[in-house]
Structure 1
């Protein structure tokens, strides 16, 4: 399902139907339950139309949850401890983001000296500038 074009997606779906067409109800289930409803959310032919800056999974949420669990130590904590831990995590993240933006304000990558980037330099982080293609 990693088709980069709609035509390739349709070709692969046809291959899937030919391969598993003898499994009663499988292709209808896949088509009616998943493909028709969700293909725009997971097939590159559609997801690549939207600028998502490389974030194609829920990994950020899973990572944040893991960090919180690590800092809490256990699930039996009081609200004051929870608040303190979350506040500390958010302060660290905020400081890291500020440091990244400071770097973007003060350091210009060689490839961003182009006139195209002139109005963006100092306002857009370097990571985002690297994602811009012309």
Structure 2
């Protein structure tokens, strides 16, 4: 029974990651230039895809994504499960949805630079808990 549960868990993860329609792709088309055209031609001989998955917008490894997309020439993507609307904002007053909009734009700009593709889900970020006491108050001990 444990093997069936294990397989069902992994199948569910695969379905969520690749087959579920709640994942959205965002980005703007770029203007072609000689360097981009050369890079696109060089990518034709490379077969490979990498999807980097993390919970929050600031969890990505931009250097790794740039290396994979630029140097290794694989099709690289970053799936942020949330848009960062539950995070902290130390430089402005934006919180909740407004902060999520800012973080979304930051991710889209980063992908324009590192060459990877940005993906999102519709998962909501419940917020930040600086102490274990606050986490336990929100989630309870049994969860």
Bigger proportion of residues as strand: 2
Q: TM-score, normalised by structure 1?
A: 0.25
Please give the TM-score of this superposition, normalised by the length of structure 2: 0.24
More helix, by proportion: 1
Larger relative contact order, structure 1 or 2 (CA cutoff 8 Å, min sep 6): 2
Greater Rg, structure 1 or structure 2? 1
